């Protein structure tokens, strides 16, 4: 059975207000801001307004935080600066821009540590833990959560202690250590009940319900989730949407275990009702990940009800959303790694600066030692100078070799990321479906899935062979062997690999190539070039469009053109197409993922064959790629 977790990580934000009391608090802060004369008080009020608007209006929250930052920096109010950085970090966290969120919260933590503001230190450590959870770095997340918990216990802040106990339990839940997770959730709920923190208590019960679902104790899960719903029954945020879908899961799993047909149908209907209720919340808040997961369970429920057509419909919805989310997530993870490297570099620079400061204070004690050392060093100076010059030459040579190797590695992995993503997604999706629902699938469904997996595997194998050949070619391990071949069979064979995708979009492909037209090129490389260009043409052409493939021999060259009626490109995009240092990827007309790296491979292969590749395009009017390859006589010259 497929499982997913609805995790509830709590930042140090006061959620327990009713909507009315939230509005009253905001109105009170606005009045206080209008009457404030002291800049530090204004900065504090602006920060309070920013945190009050986190989940109500993130744009206003960001605006107030930026104003608080400017005022705090102007007046050198460090605590206000730290709080403003934290609020900006939370804004980027809510926008899923995790690298920026990390950067601002690290800045906030440094300031709060400098002024020993325990509350701020606690908040920032919790925020950092929450961001690292997003990227499944649970070891680092636990480290930050435990730091936050320790500081809150030191200052006896009972409310945040309950919050951090919940968050630590959440990490253990993700790590599948369910007993530890339950212990932390139980501690958190008891502490929150004792302190009348109703909203946080509701979240604890929700997490307890999630944990019981993983332990297959579905009735206990339903009991805990219902307690959470009762506590916050009027809440219209995503939170109650999570509660509803968790109930839907529990009833679905109970239905699968129910031998009585009538009872099973009743449980499935309850499951369906709850998942549909959750979808209302998710759509209202435009939460794509939760909509995707709701589609998955709608598909499972419909399948259990033997409504296979509807089950397939929801499964396709889930798959389409998942592809889009997967692509965005990869980009975000790459950005996070870059940000982490920048932060580590910054920390190293700070350490070096601190060492320099310490060394400066010791200069007086080093003067005598330096005086003695100068006498010795004078005799060795010439020797060291000559040795250094020789070492520098060797170092420059090594750096050139390393740079060449790194460039080759980057190109190789770029090609893998571009060419293998699609087959892997299809193969993994089908294998996951077989692994989880094999017992519930019909023979026809199994045959369909197996056939699709076979096709994906064959395609994947072919791509791997091409990539490995290219890699060996770049390293000079195999010769590059151009031969004279008829062009039409090559184009026909390449077209067959993308025919299904073209049929799905009702795209008409026409070939206008004389049967006797030949091309003098390495067969593997020209296959890869034509296949990539045809794939791009289909990807960026809308439904019921057309593609025209032509070729003619012009003097000493054979020129191939692939023209489509797609969305086209502007001059800036055309200028960046064949550059490794510029990101040119964009989504196809049916949300097909793309990285733009396939064209880099095309350019290398065409130039290896002694040819040229160029493009003509206009936005909204289609694109034409041209490949010009010297004929046999010209190539031999």
C-alpha to C-alpha distance for 95 and 522, rounded to whole angstroms? 48
| pLDDT for position 147 | 95
Give mean pLDDT, residues 111-115: 95
Q: Is 259 helix (H, G, I), strand (E, B) or coil?
A: coil
Q: What percent of the chain has pLDDT over 90?
A: 39
pTM of the model: 0.50
Are 594 and 566 in contact by the 8 Å Cβ rule? The answer is: no
| pLDDT for position 631 | 80
Strand order of the β-sheet with 623-630 is 508-512, 546-554, 557-564, 623-630, 612-617
pLDDT in tens, 414-443: 555 655 665 676 677 777 777 777 777 787
| pLDDT for position 56 | 75
17-31, 93-107, 353-367: least confident range: 353-367
pLDDT in tens, 251-297: 999 999 999 999 999 999 999 999 999 898 888 877 788 888 899 99
C-alpha to C-alpha distance for 576 and 583, rounded to whole angstroms? 8
First to last CA, the chain: 64
Residue 349 has pLDDT above 60, yes or no: no
**Domains detected in the chain:** 390-467 (1.10.287.130), 482-636 (3.30.565.10)
Residue 355 has pLDDT above 80, yes or no: no
| pLDDT for position 168 | 95
| pLDDT for position 2 | 33
C-alpha to C-alpha distance for 38 and 23, rounded to whole angstroms? 25
pLDDT in tens, 435-476: 777 777 787 878 877 876 776 675 566 566 656 655 665 676
Under the banding of pLDDT at 50, 70 and 90, the label for residue 576 is: confident
pLDDT in tens, 161-202: 999 999 999 999 999 999 999 999 999 999 988 888 788 888
| pLDDT for position 154 | 94
| pLDDT for position 357 | 62
Bridge partners of 628? Answer: 559, 612
62-71, 205-214, 315-324, 358-367: least confident range: 358-367
| pLDDT for position 22 | 66
| pLDDT for position 636 | 55
Residue 347 has pLDDT above 60, yes or no: no
Q: Is 473 helix (H, G, I), strand (E, B) or coil?
A: helix
Strands 557-564 and 623-630 turn out to be antiparallel
* Residue positions counted in the chain: 637
Give mean pLDDT, residues 100-123: 94
Under the banding of pLDDT at 50, 70 and 90, the label for residue 17 is: very low
Under the banding of pLDDT at 50, 70 and 90, the label for residue 213 is: very high
Residue 67 has pLDDT above 60, yes or no: yes
| pLDDT for position 591 | 72
* Burial class of residue 297 (count of CB atoms within 10 Å of its CB; 0-12, 13-18, 19+): buried
pLDDT in tens, 597-631: 677 778 888 888 889 999 999 998 899 999 999 88
DSSP 557: E
Give mean pLDDT, residues 294-316: 92
pLDDT in tens, 475-502: 766 567 888 889 999 999 998 888 888 8
């Amino acid at each position: 059975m497929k499982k997913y977790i609805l995790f509830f990580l709590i930042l140090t934000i006061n959620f327990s207000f009713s909507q009315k009391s939230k509005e009253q608090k905001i109105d009170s802060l606005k009045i206080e801001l209008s009457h404030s004369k002291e800049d530090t008080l204004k900065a504090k009020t602006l920060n309070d307004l920013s945190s009050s608007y986190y989940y109500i209006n993130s744009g206003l929250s960001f605006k107030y935080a930026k104003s608080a930052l400017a005022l705090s920096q102007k007046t050198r109010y460090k605590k206000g600066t730290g709080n403003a950085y934290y609020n900006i970090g939370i804004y980027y966290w809510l926008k899923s821009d995790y690298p920026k969120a990390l950067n601002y919260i690290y800045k906030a933590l440094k300031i709060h540590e400098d002024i020993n503001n325990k509350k701020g230190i606690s908040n920032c450590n919790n925020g950092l833990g929450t961001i690292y959870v997003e990227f499944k770095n649970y070891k680092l997340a636990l480290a930050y959560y435990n730091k936050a918990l320790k500081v809150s216990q030191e200052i006896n802040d009972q409310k945040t202690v309950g919050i951090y106990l919940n968050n630590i339990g959440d990490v253990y839940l993700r790590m599948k250590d369910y007993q530890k997770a339950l212990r932390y959730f139980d501690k958190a709920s008891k502490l929150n009940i004792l302190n009348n923190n109703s909203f946080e208590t509701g979240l604890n019960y929700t997490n307890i319900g999630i944990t019981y679902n993983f332990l297959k104790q579905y009735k206990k899960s339903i009991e805990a989730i219902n307690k959470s719903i009762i506590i916050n029954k009027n809440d219209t945020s995503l939170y109650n949407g999570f509660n509803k879908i968790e109930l839907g899961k529990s009833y679905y799993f109970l239905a699968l275990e129910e031998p009585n047909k009538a009872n099973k149908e009743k449980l499935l209907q309850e499951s369906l009702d709850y998942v549909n209720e959750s979808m209302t919340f998710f759509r209202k808040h435009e939460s794509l990940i939760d909509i995707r997961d709701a589609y998955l369970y709608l598909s499972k429920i419909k399948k259990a009800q033997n409504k296979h057509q509807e089950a397939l419909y929801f499964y396709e919805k889930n798959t389409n959303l998942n592809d889009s989310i997967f692509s965005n997530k990869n980009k975000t993870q790459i950005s996070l790694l870059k940000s982490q490297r920048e932060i580590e570099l910054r920390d190293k620079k700070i350490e070096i600066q601190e060492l320099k400061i310490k060394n400066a204070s010791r200069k007086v004690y080093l003067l005598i030692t330096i005086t003695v050392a100068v006498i010795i060093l004078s005799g060795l100076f010439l020797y060291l100078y000559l040795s250094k010059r020789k070492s520098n030459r060797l170092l420059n040579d090594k750096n050139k070799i390393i740079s060449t190797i790194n460039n080759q590695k980057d190109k190789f992995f770029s090609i893998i990321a571009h060419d293998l993503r699609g087959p892997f997604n299809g193969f993994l999706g089908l294998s996951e479906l077989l692994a989880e629902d094999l017992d519930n699938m019909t023979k026809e469904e199994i045959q369909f899935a197996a056939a699709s997996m076979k096709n994906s595997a064959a395609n994947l194998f072919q791509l791997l062979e091409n990539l490995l050949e290219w890699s060996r070619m770049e390293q000079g391990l195999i010769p590059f062997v151009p031969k004279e071949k008829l062009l039409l069979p090559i184009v026909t064979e390449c077209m067959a690999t993308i025919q299904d995708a073209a049929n799905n979009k009702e795209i008409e492909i026409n070939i206008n190539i004389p049967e006797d037209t030949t091309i003098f090129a390495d067969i593997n490389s020209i296959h890869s070039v034509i296949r990539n260009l045809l794939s791009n043409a289909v990807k960026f052409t809308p439904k019921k469009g057309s593609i025209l493939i032509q070729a003619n021999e012009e003097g000493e060259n054979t020129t191939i053109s692939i023209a489509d009626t797609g969305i086209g490109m502007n001059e800036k995009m055309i200028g960046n197409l064949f550059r490794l240092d510029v990101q040119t990827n964009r989504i196809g007309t049916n949300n097909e993922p793309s990285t733009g790296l396939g064209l880099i491979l095309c350019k290398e292969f065409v130039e290896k064959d002694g040819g040229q590749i160029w493009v003509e395009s206009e936005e909204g009017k289609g694109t034409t790629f041209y490949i010009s390859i010297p004929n046999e006589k010209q190539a031999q010259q």
